[in-house]
Structure 1
Amino acid sequence: MAADDTTATVQAKIERAALAHGFQDADEVLPPYHIEAQTSLVDRPLRSLKFGEAFAVLDSFGDIGVLPGPEGLYFQDTRYLSRLEFTVEGQRPLMLSSVMQDDNGALSVDMTTPDIRIDAHDETSIPREVIAIERTKFLFRGACYDRIGLRSYDSRHRNLRIVVSFDADYRDLFEVRGTDRTNRGKRSVQVASDREVQFRYVGLDEVVRTTALHFGPKPSLIEPGRVEFSVSLAPEGRASLFIRVVCESHKAFTSAPSAERIGEHAAAGLSHASGSTPVRPPKDLPEGNVFARAYRDARRDLRQLTAGITTIISSNDQFNEALCRSTADLYMLATRTPEGIYPFAGIPWYSTVFGRDGIITAMMALWIDPNFAKGVLRYLASTQAKAVDPAADAQPGKVLHETRRGEMAMLGEVPFRHYYGTIDGTPLFVMLAWEYYSVTGDRETIARIWPALELALAWMNDYGDRDGDGFVEYARDTDKGLENQGWKDSHDSIFHADGQLAKGPIALCEVQGYVYAAKNGMAKLAAMLGHDALAETLTNQARSLREQFDAAFWNEEIGTYALALDGAKKQCAVRSSNAGHALFTGIALPERAARVAETLLSKDGFNGWGVRTIARGEARYNPMSYHNGSIWPHDNALIAMGLARYDLKAEAARIFQGMFETALYQDQKRLPELFCGFMRRRQRGPVSYPVACSPQAWAAAAPFAFLAACLGLELDHGRNRVRFRNPVLPAFLDGVTIFNVKLGGSHLDLRFQRHDDDVTVSVLRRRGDAQVATVR
């Protein structure tokens, strides 16, 4: 498509292609679990907070629900607060600044009062800019804390009427996303005291969900949905208002709960996860003190979570800001579970455990903090499927795709309570296990999850290979499951060159690569544990799969590996980013690598910002789609890692450059989940996707993967060696210093300096005996 195509032209071409290929009818029906959008998430700045199982989507004022959209305070996949608006004398304040703190610990908003007329017939009673308003909001252990501080710079005494309006609709997250519901539970609201209003919702799943709003100091008026404060400010005077919103849920037992029912309750996932149980302060403790204690504890918790991680400082201040935001996003999304920390996938739509997302995030962040990988491995091992369950697309050994705690999931209205409809999560799980061990040497964790790794291997060989042809394929077991079960899981993302949707079972290009890497990794783990026969078998299976993959997937005409094989083993001869994952896993033959890279980085594949999911010119190419022409940072990071594996460092650096320049145009220099694939134009930034998650875990981890790929970083615990293979730095980086690179008991500070096309490596500090080597 030409660079000057308009959006209307793009849509016209899509429609003509649909008519020509006869698949327009299927596209006219919205697919299940579609994210409906009447408003865009990019039409106004939104702010996100998260702690544990709670997250908040706020407008730049720190309010909720003033305009339609996904704003709200959510807990366990339910919106517990759908409106919270703060006004002064009936007016919104004037915005001065709205920023997330550097570590995402809190939202800080500076405002001032507008020109206020107490009586419409009088002149301005209070001129603007004489009263400063500072708002601080954060989440901690199932509660949202809100402080509104006022300071007068006026010479006169001022009396202000401040109103806070609020509501709680208890909509399931899938309702917020656009899924219709016929029946709902019962909601009620009451003034619980002169400082508290409580909403209560009894769901059809027999779960009681409550939202308690606590106010301090005592409001002058309190009623359901509204409180008023009368604030008196002397010259140079100060005042503070506090709002604490506590979210809780419990099972509504109609009689004394039996041990069996308590067990059902726990199995349903309704007990509070670590870090989600609200703090219960003493009843007589002023709200200001409650706020201060929670703020202190939240800061302490974040410091503990990030203690000892690897950090990076570069010669480029803007890149430093982007890395700071990525680090903050990763640890905001990190959620404590009984098995360790797990990066929830993204806000607002995916703030929960996703198997694939967690694994890939952990892979990319492995050299920064291996605790992500440890937590992901242990959690997914503990939730691995043990039986066949068609409604959940589950078979023994399969790794979890997604888990949800909302009413619709509990009732089975959506299948995602514990859902296993992912074809790639299981081989990725095994792949991560080897990568984690190779960096950490943590034999204890591998031994603990070894039975789960064996089950995962058995699943790949049995249920995963449905027809016994050596490839792992998918087909959903019920019509409620996801139609496509790779990372591109849109209903129309797997298709043939003529645009016809592929019929399953479908063998995806990248999944065969994941299986290849998983078997190679499992072979090394088996050898480490003394299972020599298994190690030899797996090594031979991986070698055979590589040869078979090349024969079945390579397409000389399109110059790359096919997107997939359909149920008849016919190639989906489509140029896609999936082929880059064949480089990432090493399944691509060395003689194919340069050709794959050339196709990926052609004008049809690379738009100047990144590699498109589907190349321009393919039948279903649409730069505004979710998976058929858009650009995903994590996808590009895996491609860059693959290019580096085959020593195509200049190509990897080119993608890194495009992604860094993308970040410069984003709010807070945060890479989003995805963005549109329109061709790059001079003096214009990339085009945003309307409902992209931001932050998104694997997008946050992507910059670390880009840097590691370009440096050729290899951490090898077995050889006690940190190696850099043919390191390069992109043009925007003259130098990089990495602090606290960890290998076993060793800690290293390393300095990289670019000299034209050469990069030198210096050891600034070494504690321990790990060796540093550079290979060119």
Structure 2
Amino acid sequence: MKLSVRPKDETYFLANRHVFFHRGANAKFENKWHGLWVGDYKVFDSFSYEIRVDGKTIDLLEHATNFSYHGSKSVHAYGISGLHVEEICFIPQKVPALVSVLSLKNDSNKDIHVQVVLRAHVNHRAREINWHNTEYKTLFEKHGEYVSVKSSNERYALFGSKKGFTVSFSNQGVFNEYVDGKDKQRTFMPGDYVVNVPIKAGERVKVPFFFGATTRGLKDMLVSFIDLRDYYEKRFQEVSRHFKHVSDSFEVVITPEIEELVAWSTINLELLKHDSHLFAGLPWFSQYWGRDTLWSLNAFLHVGAFDFVKRILKHYLSVLAKGNAEVPAGTVPNVEYLSGERDYNSLDATPLLVLAVGEYVKHTGDVTFLKEHSNALAHISRWFESLDEKGFLRPFNTKNTTWMDTLGRTKAIEVQALYVSAARSLGELHDILGSSELSHFFNERAKTALGVIESYWLADKGYFKDTSENASLTPNQLVPIMLGLVEPTRANKVLSRMLESDMLGEWGVRSLSQKEEGFFADAYHQGSAWGLTNAWLVCALLSQSRVSDAVSMLRRIHKDLSTAAIGCISETYSGEPQKPSGCSLQLWSSALIIRAIDEFMFGIKPNLAKKVVTLSPAMVKGVLKRHDKLLHDTFMDVRLEGHANRVVMELAFSKQPDFDIVLDLRGINATRIVANGVTLDGERFTPRDENVIEVFF
């Protein structure tokens, strides 16, 4: 995987589960969010290199020419006469550190002596802090040839190069200030770290620099730092293999643009893993948002990260609210800060948790997990009972409890849709647990709640109200469509309305129609397009087999990969004309692309708790392929080939599956279905290792 640009104002991210690094593609650090972070705590604000050769002093930042990004690494190229310079940056898998390797090639016909001067700027602060008066102590460890910087709040930064070079350090201790917008920043530059590098004519020499970051003690960081210094090339190979494995975990053949979008979306999921959780977005949503995480978990099931999903579900089932005057028992936290504090102010996170548990059980067949957490499921069931109000899911406090959290929305259509689907899921889960009474109860609740959604229909306008009291046109009604709660005629009227110019801009579907009072192109939830709503639209279009419209949307989204943060999908797109805004790497913006492809384009819907996998592909023309879809402990390859009057499906399994296949043809009137040469009497069959299914219509 590789994206290349001639750098302008693009940025990029590198990350592991401890740290993330944010920088301009032009190699500069141009705002307060750039730098090396440990979670939500900044350690290094910036660094720069100066090259001294033959009496000349060259600032590398002034000579950046090209940039390429690979997910696992970044490559900055610098144009200097007689000296070819590349900088490769990567973050090793398990160490809270950044590696920056300068590759220096002497293109002249004479030997030269180069001095590389590193100037690192330290800024130990929490994300919400700006200017601060922290003091620092600097130590140059001559034997180890590294510099440690200790702040007055007991945080450490380390930097240095590998042994073998002649190194010097001038301890200067200079404070610098800059302003980012209205926010004043104060950084500390310990001094010049100078590496002397003799280079023969035509020779290439690599000079690695290491930046260690810790919010804990120095001892553990020092052990990791020394290991990294001695084995950085091995660590580079490890991280390269890891990211290749990540990108291979969800491999499709559709169109080159969509294949690239899917691959980078998969990499983005990896970049946003933090510890055993997920950040909602970078650089500033470095918290665990329940709503965002739970909207996104399906994607991790689709890429086969079952254990990761299980850990997250265990966590959320263990931190349900105990209940008080403001928050009912069973509420899922909306935000968890790295400090351990939690906010319980979301009405949709609890339904989303139910859906995530249901999808995990369906994808894995792990009924034991469900039984082990039956008490938590009982708490959640009572939560739904306590908040049901004649089919509405009523808010439990006065805070803004929907995803549009800048607005006061009650009885919102997408929350109602999640309620219906969660009630159905609770019915299925209680059935698995053997409670037919509770299963029936929640199935009936689902029917009542579905009636609420149907009451929102505005026949004269051809779309649904946004809330019980607000008839504004918004994309929130895409949720009941993608969840299969709207009959096709109405669904297609809504989808056609979403594609009109007042809703669909250059970068995506607006959060409010331009024709509505209150629309403002820069408004967060009353004008801006969202990566989330764009993905909702793709899912909804594919649910109705509007493949060409969905592909057109995916191409719009694909543009973002080389625009804001390279390889990433943004949070929002604001203004007129629209442009990427908000967090430039947003979790659900990528996660729902993965879901759209697997669940709605290929139509792969496992229910391994009942030993069945449903295939409900969108009606496509041409050939689509999905490789290595993990179903419990077997991998499945899918090949779809669409013709004018038939669809051919080829399924291959890594071992004999222990489940049946059910074909759901989305309302297509099939005249005949042939599976492995046998005409089916129905839509269910037991697959072999290799299968050919022909559907005639």
The two structures have a TM-score, normalised by structure 1, of 0.74
Is 1:312 matched with 2:312?
A: no
Between structures 1 and 2, the one with greater strand share: 2
Q: Distance in 1 between matches of 2:423 and 2:147?
A: 57
Contact 1:370 1:436 in 2 (8 A): no
1:659 to 549, 554, 570: 554
Contact 1:354 1:401 in 2 (8 A): yes
List per-residue Cα deviations over 1:366-417 (Å, max 9, x = no partner): 3332525323312211332234386xxx543111222223xxxx5xxxxx83
Q: Distance in 1 between matches of 2:470 and 2:462?
A: 13
Correspondence for 1:649 = 545
Contact 1:713 1:724 in 2 (8 A): yes
Q: Distance in 2 between matches of 1:752 and 1:325?
A: 23
2:608 to 717, 730, 737: 717
Secondary structure, counterpart of 2:434 in structure 1:
coil
Segments of 5+ residues of structure 1 without an aligned counterpart are: 1-41, 114-127, 253-271, 411-415, 478-482, 495-501, 566-570, 680-686
Segments of 5+ residues of structure 2 without an aligned counterpart are: 1-6, 172-189, 669-697
Rate the CA distance shift 1:403–1:701 in 2: closer, same or farther, 3 A: same
Shift of 1:226: 2.7
Residue correspondence of structure 1 range 392-471 to structure 2 within 5 A: 394-405=327-338, 410=339, 417-462=341-386, 464=387, 468-471=389-392
Shift of 1:319: 2.6
Q: Which has the larger displacement, 765-774 or 70-79? A: 765-774
Rate the CA distance shift 1:642–1:664 in 2: closer, same or farther, 3 A: closer
Rate the CA distance shift 1:763–1:630 in 2: closer, same or farther, 3 A: same
1:242 to 205, 208, 213: 208
The letter for the 2-side match of 1:107 is S
Contact 1:558 1:574 in 2 (8 A): no
Contact 1:438 1:717 in 2 (8 A): yes
Is 1:166 matched with 2:125?
A: no
Contact 2:511 2:526 in 1 (8 A): yes
Contact 1:62 1:107 in 2 (8 A): no
Q: Distance in 2 between matches of 1:232 and 1:726?
A: 62
1:75 to 32, 38, 49: 38
Rate the CA distance shift 1:319–1:601 in 2: closer, same or farther, 3 A: closer
Correspondence for 1:386 = 322
1:98 to 52, 59, 67: 67
Contact 2:246 2:266 in 1 (8 A): no
Rate the CA distance shift 1:420–1:209 in 2: closer, same or farther, 3 A: farther
Correspondence for 2:136 = 188
What is the Cα-based RMSD across aligned positions, in Å? 3.1
Rate the CA distance shift 1:585–1:737 in 2: closer, same or farther, 3 A: closer
Shift of 1:456: 2.2
Is 1:599 matched with 2:534?
A: no
Correspondence for 1:136 = 89
Shift of 1:348: 0.7
Correspondence for 1:544 = 448
List per-residue Cα deviations over 1:579-623 (Å, max 9, x = no partner): 111223344466643333343233322336533221121112223
Shift of 1:577: 0.5
Is 1:704 matched with 2:640?
A: no
Correspondence for 1:615 = 513
Correspondence for 1:579 = 477
2:427 to 512, 523, 533: 523
Residue correspondence of structure 1 range 2-13 to structure 2 within 5 A: none
Secondary structure, counterpart of 1:228 in structure 2:
strand
Rate the CA distance shift 1:218–1:486 in 2: closer, same or farther, 3 A: farther
Rate the CA distance shift 1:96–1:658 in 2: closer, same or farther, 3 A: same
The letter for the 1-side match of 2:628 is N
Paired positions, count: 624
List per-residue Cα deviations over 1:514-554 (Å, max 9, x = no partner): 11111110110101110111111111111112123433x33
Is 1:750 matched with 2:643?
A: no
Is 1:484 matched with 2:484?
A: no
Rate the CA distance shift 1:80–1:61 in 2: closer, same or farther, 3 A: same
Q: Distance in 2 between matches of 1:308 and 1:445?
A: 28
Rate the CA distance shift 1:68–1:291 in 2: closer, same or farther, 3 A: same
Correspondence for 1:688 = 579
The two structures have a TM-score, normalised by structure 2, of 0.81
Correspondence for 1:209 = 155
Secondary structure, counterpart of 1:621 in structure 2:
coil
Contact 1:712 1:726 in 2 (8 A): yes
Shift of 1:147: 1.7
Secondary structure, counterpart of 1:70 in structure 2:
coil
Identity %: 17
Q: Which has the larger displacement, 360-369 or 520-529? A: 360-369
1:768 to 656, 665, 672: 656
Secondary structure, counterpart of 1:219 in structure 2:
strand
Contact 2:148 2:158 in 1 (8 A): yes
The letter for the 1-side match of 2:393 is V
Q: Distance in 2 between matches of 1:52 and 1:389?
A: 37
Q: Distance in 2 between matches of 1:143 and 1:666?
A: 26
Q: Distance in 2 between matches of 1:577 and 1:612?
A: 7
Correspondence for 1:331 = 270
The letter for the 2-side match of 1:48 is F
Contact 1:423 1:474 in 2 (8 A): yes
Secondary structure, counterpart of 2:333 in structure 1:
coil
